[in-house]
Amino acid sequence: MAEVQKNPQSLGEMTQRFVEFVMMQAQNAALFLGQIPNPQTGKGEVNLELAKMFIDQLVMIQEKTRGNLTNEESAVLKNTLANLQMAFVEVSKEMREGKTEAAPERAPEPSQPATAKSEPIAPSPSEAESRKKFTKTY
């Protein structure tokens, strides 16, 4: 079998990427726990179902990587999960007591009738600017 050689720099980069991944998942969970304001509305919104999904994904990562993480990676994941799980319990309790409201469900957008002709709308300059694709080279 071929043996994969690992150099210390790539291990450090991988640790950094793993920690960033965990933090990104935690940020999404915190958003749906109402701890981070929704960027579109500026208000904290609670969606326990989505928050639970992100927390469960981190639990899955913890189980699947057990024994394969560095001490730093393991500590970050463990502490992040503990904090998110406590926050989830607290928000769940507040919702049961009526202190926090769930995010309003978005109504489905009405579909256009089949007879209506839809013409493509040219994006505004700011939209076109935001749609530019960026690439990263390795």
Tens digits of residue pLDDT in 10-23: 888 999 999 999 99
Distance CA 131, CA 127 (A): 6
Percentage with pLDDT > 70 across the chain: 65
Q: For the whole prediction, is pTM greater than 0.75?
A: no
End-to-end CA distance of the chain: 27
Shortest CA distance to 92 belongs to which of 34, 25, 26, 24? 34
Query: Residue 121: its pLDDT value, please?
Result: 52
Q: In the predicted model, what is the mean pLDDT of residues 91-106?
A: 74
Domains and CATH numbers, the chain: 10-103 (1.20.58)
In the block, which residue shows the tokens 């709308």? 121
Owner of token pair 């009405």:
110
DSSP state of 46: B
**Whether pLDDT at 108 is above 60:** no
- The predicted pLDDT at position 137 comes to 57
